[in-house]
Amino acid sequence: MSDPTSPASTANGLLPADPSFPATPQAVADMLRAVGYLPDETIAGTVHLAHGLEKPILVEGPAGTGKTELAKSVALATGARLIRLQCYEGLDESKALYEWDYRKQLLRIQAGQVAGGENGSGWSDVEADIFSEHYLLRRPLLEAIRAEDRVVLLIDEVDRLDVETEALLLEVLSDYQVSIPELGTVTARQRPLVFLTSNNSRELSEALKRRCLFLHVGYPTPERERDIVLSRVPGVSEHLADQVAAAVASLRRMDLKKRPSVSETVDWARTLLMLGVAEVDGEALLRHLHVLLKHQSDIERATGELTGRGTGAR
Ligand SMILES: Nc1ncnc2c1ncn2[C@@H]1O[C@H](COP(=O)(O)OP(=O)(O)OP(=O)(O)O)[C@@H](O)[C@H]1O
Ligand SMILES: [Mg+2]
């Protein structure tokens, strides 16, 4: 096994698997907790498997439940560089994979003309040169597999991609390579841990799903949410964190358009701490409903239920 501080290549030219990566799901959970991310058993188990099987994880679930944060926390905990591809409608190859560096190519051509004189000799050399990897601008997917330092690749909000663009991911995610017409196949220097996140705003292709391990991250149990609050809000008491988690859980049981997410729970705990509120009662919850709920109809419904004045509008 190689020295963890100098990740030399293996015989096939690939960076070897991180020898310091935790060997059990329990150790993965401990590693994540140490950087403030509170996983449940399934999350820790899936990260452990993804590392062992060298498979990407498709992390799906409602907004604000810690999907993006999971990738960031794994990078932080393992000391890897986080490379993020933020997906959006209209994202194309030149932003996701690579682009030729036209300016640099042009300079090389001009330099070749000066050196080659008027007969233009050496064009074939120039041509071979300007379509080499040196003249590529690497975008996140290519950068992640070609990097020489250890990286974690986050493909965030993959459900926002157009269906055609989603196909661009397939070659990278299954073969860890990129085919470039002018250059040929660029193979991986490493197989990074890959996280794809999705809010499930549209169904992803079966081909993409097949390449990934699937991880659903839903709302946490009140116990885990209390621990998340304790970890994310310095200075909050265990008592307040307990009460916050219980109150949010009761809101989530209501029939709302958009249930409060973990990030909103954290915001509410911060609000209470800032205002010096030590005890959560119905009043504290009612006063700050707008920190937790982002639709007026939900605020009205929750107010109605909490004050026993009926269910309000939806
Ligand atoms: N398990 C967790 N441990 C620690 N913090 C968490 C956890 N889950 C969520 N959080 C907190 O919630 C915040 C929101 O998480 P994140 O941005 O990862 O949500 P998301 O699932 O990616 O949401 P979206 O779908 O809107 O992008 C984080 O910044 C973090 O503070
Ligand atoms: Mg996210």
Q: How far is the CA of 159 from the centre of ligand 2 (A)?
A: 11
pLDDT (average), residues 196-216: 96
- 10: confidence class by pLDDT, cuts 50, 70, 90: low
Question: Could you tell me the distance, in angstroms and rounded to a whole number, from the CA of residue 301 to the centre of ligand 2?
Answer: 27
Mean pLDDT of the chain: 91
* pLDDT tens for each residue of 147-162: 999 999 999 999 999 9
- Residue-wise pLDDT for 225-242, tens only, equals 999 999 999 999 999 999
Ligand 1 touching residue 38 (CB < 6 A) = yes
Residue 258 pLDDT more than 60? yes
* Residues 225, 219: Cα–Cα separation, whole Å: 8
Looking from the CA of residue 217, the nearest atom of ligand 1 is 21
Looking at the predicted structure, is the pLDDT value of residue 255 above 90?
yes
pLDDT digits (tens, 9 = 90+) for 107-147: 988 887 777 655 555 778 888 889 999 999 999 999 999 99
Average pLDDT (206-224) is: 97
Q: How far is CA 7 from CA 15, 27, 150, 175, 285, in A?
A: 6, 22, 8, 21, 52
Q: Which of 42, 262, 291, 292 to mutate to test the pocket of ligand 1 (most atoms within 8 A of CB)?
A: 262
Atom 11, ligand 1: residue with shortest CA distance: 263
Fold observed for domain 25-97+139-216: Rossmann fold (3.40.50)
> CA nearest 262: which of 38, 96, 107, 54?
38
Q: Is the pLDDT of residue 260 over 80?
A: yes
Per-residue pLDDT for 43 more than 60?
yes
Tokens matching residue 160:
């926002």
Q: Give the integer Cα–Cα distance in Å for 83 and 100.
A: 20
Residue nearest to atom 26 of ligand 1 (CA): 63
Place of tokens 């000391």: 79
